[in-house]
A and B are shown apart, each in its own frame.
Chain A
Amino acid sequence: MSWIRESELSLLQKIAANILKAGPMPKHVAFIMDGNRRFARKKNVERQEGHMQGFNKLAETLCWCQHLNIREVTVYAFSIENFKRAKAEVDGLMELAKQKFTRLLEERDNLEKHSVCIRVLGDLTMLPLDLQQLIAKAVFETRTHNKCFLNVCFAYTSRHEITNAVREMAWGVEQGLIKSSDVSEALLSKCLYSNNSPNPDLLIRTSGEVRLSDFLLWQTSHSCLVFQSVLWPEYSFWNLCEAILQYQFNYRSIQKARDLHREEQELQQLEADRACVAEVLQHHGNGKPADAQRRQEALLHYTACREERVQDFLEALKHKRDSFFTDLASQAVAR
């Protein structure tokens, strides 16, 4: 079944959508699509069928998001922890993924028409090589699309993502691109797999579980969390509306918390820069304390240099990541 649905909303759904759109709408929604196996048990079908239904529901949900002007969606498709499942189930999921990504590549015209950019976040080296190549091809071929974004977390856990970001920064330090004092919250965010996306505004988890299960822990620190008891394959447009309504209810207080956090972050960066400058001035100062003007000039100069260093590092990182996908994608073609 297809990734892209082109169905219209019913009249009632259209009205509901318009009412919701009168308020603040989330621009980026993350889904933990939980409940496929319980759904399969409930309907007395195979687990694999539950996962298939789950995928269909994903396609449908993307269509609703389009109608609601939600341009970016991130989904938790496969956790590194899921490798612990029975081999048969894991193999089944890998097969399903291969089918879906193959199908995705067949629909490239449709993807171009809707300008959908697919990104896959996670440690792809943990997946079978042929799946890696398919994924790389899908990512490569949609990389310039910019109307809507679908981020699929595959072989992903948040702790791995954060650790990987720290490793990338350490790589930058080893390469001499940045200093350890350049490490900051903002820089770490830019080294995550999700660095091209804004933080999710809304995180929805289905099936009644009330935990994050190692999903986007860093990015959702100030997001609206909505836990819904419906099983994922049974998710409806009205469930989505309910979640958005809850987001709107929380909007002002969460915005306030976000602004507060950003201010504190900026303050911390300023303090860190000041400390570095003080150290530099001490080295070059011959013991004489520098006057306020000199300190200010030194601070501005230091900040500018730091930002340039960081920019160069991020360019190098982007190049490294793009090459990874390009190389894999070209392997897929050569086959």
Chain B
Amino acid sequence: MALLYGLLWRLLLVLVHLHRTLVSWLRLRLRSWKGRLWERAVAALLLPVALLGFPDHQKKLNQNRDSNPSPVTGNRAASRRSQWLSDGQALEKLPVHIGLLVAEEEPSYTDIANLVVWCMAVGISYVSVYDNYGIIRKNNSRLLEEIVRQQQDLLGVDGSKYNVEFLSNGNDKHQHHVLSCRPVVKVLSPEDGKQSIVQAAQQLCRSVENKERTFKDISVSMLDTLLRESKNIPDPELVVKFGPIDSTLGFLPWHIRLTEFISLPSHIDVSYEDMLGALQQYASCQQRLGK
């Protein structure tokens, strides 16, 4: 009997895997198909486990495309830039700080760079990039190169307005007094999560040890100030997670108390439409803040 249940369980898992693969495959296919019938069929299939309300967004996206035709004259990069900016402005709300959580084994720097450039072009001021192996952080410079390259490719040579302020981590806290209104990119790793909280706790305990304060002085706002390297960078309002793992994998535990989580299947070959879909889903969510 146990054997039978075991087999049935394995079968069930295979079915779930097939369902997920089918869903991702159909999303790719649907990018080129606009047929009503397809949309309804897909909607029916996706209903149980759909994460993005996909057909609605595709419809909205197509409407947007039709109502804002790219100018016939002018170069492609400039028209892309204005299209993306207007896409951002069309959204009811846009996150000030977005987190890109790469929950996949091999990060693709080109795709991540694309995502960063799109986020900034749409009007998001702060972009944090995270993977739980810390690989991206180890290859900081490679990501920066890719971002610069993609900026040129996608936004044209005149992308200087979008010059990225690349924040490195660790001891360079002075860099964080951001005076310009340029978009900021930060690469994070698990050390920035629980370990930062522990370091802040150690700092507070040391000050208690040195009789600079008593334990009763320690408050939520005190800890929050310590964990916020720069007053200007708000908590991420939105985290877009790429990959099949349904977990935050240690991403900034303190900062994500009110963060919305939206999942996309993968960051490999991710498209602008996918990203915009996630932003549209964010724009439609309602935050009651406990009330």
Which residues of A approach B to under 8 Å, CB–CB?
18-23, 79-85, 157-160, 162-163, 165-171, 173-174, 179-181, 183-185, 188, 209-214, 217-218, 220-227, 245-246, 248-250, 253-254, 257, 260-261, 264, 268
Contact = CB atoms under 8 A, between A and B. Distances in A.
Interface of B is mostly: helix
Given A23-B13, A188-B197, A218-B253, A213 B291 contact: no
Contacts of B251: 221
A249 B12 CA distance: 10
Given A173-B205, A218-B194, A257 B249 contact: yes
A228 B9 CA distance: 22
Given A22-B9, A210-B261, A254-B245, 14 more contacts: A19-B8, A19-B12, A162-B254, A166-B204, A170-B215, A174-B208, A185-B195, A210-B260, A221-B193, A221-B250, A225-B247, A245-B12, A249-B16, A260-B132
B195 A268 contact: yes
A210 B285 CA distance: 9
Interface in B200-251: 200-202, 204-206, 208-209, 214-216, 218-220, 222-224, 244-251
B226 to A, nearest CB: 10
A310 B253 CA distance: 24
B61 interface: no
Contact of A22 (B8, B197, B246, B256): B8
B35 interface: no
A211 B13 contact: no
29 contacts: A22-B6, A82-B290, A85-B290, A158-B253, A159-B223, A166-B201, A167-B215, A169-B201, A173-B208, A173-B215, A174-B208, A180-B208, A183-B205, A184-B198, A188-B194, A188-B201, A209-B285, A212-B258, A217-B256, A218-B253, A220-B248, A221-B251, A245-B13, A249-B13, A253-B244, A257-B245, A260-B132, A260-B133, A261-B132
B161 interface: no
A246 B222 CA distance: 38
A162 B290 contact: no
A80 to B, nearest CB: 8
Contacts of B249: 221-222, 257
B197 to A, nearest CB: 7
Nearest to B15: A245
How large, as a class, is the contact surface on chain B? Answer: 35 or more
Interface of B: 2, 5-6, 8-10, 12-13, 16-17, 132-133, 190, 193-195, 197-198, 200-202, 204-206, 208-209, 214-216, 218-220, 222-224, 244-251, 253-254, 256-262, 285, 287, 289-291
A222 B247 contact: yes
A166 B218 contact: yes
B260 A221 contact: no
A180 B209 contact: yes
Contacts of B133: 260
Nearest to A208: B285
Contacts of A227: 261
B257 A158 contact: yes
Given A221-B249, A250-B245, A159 B197 contact: no
Closest 3 CB pairs of A and B: A81-B290, A170-B215, A180-B205
A213 B259 CA distance: 8
B2 A22 contact: yes
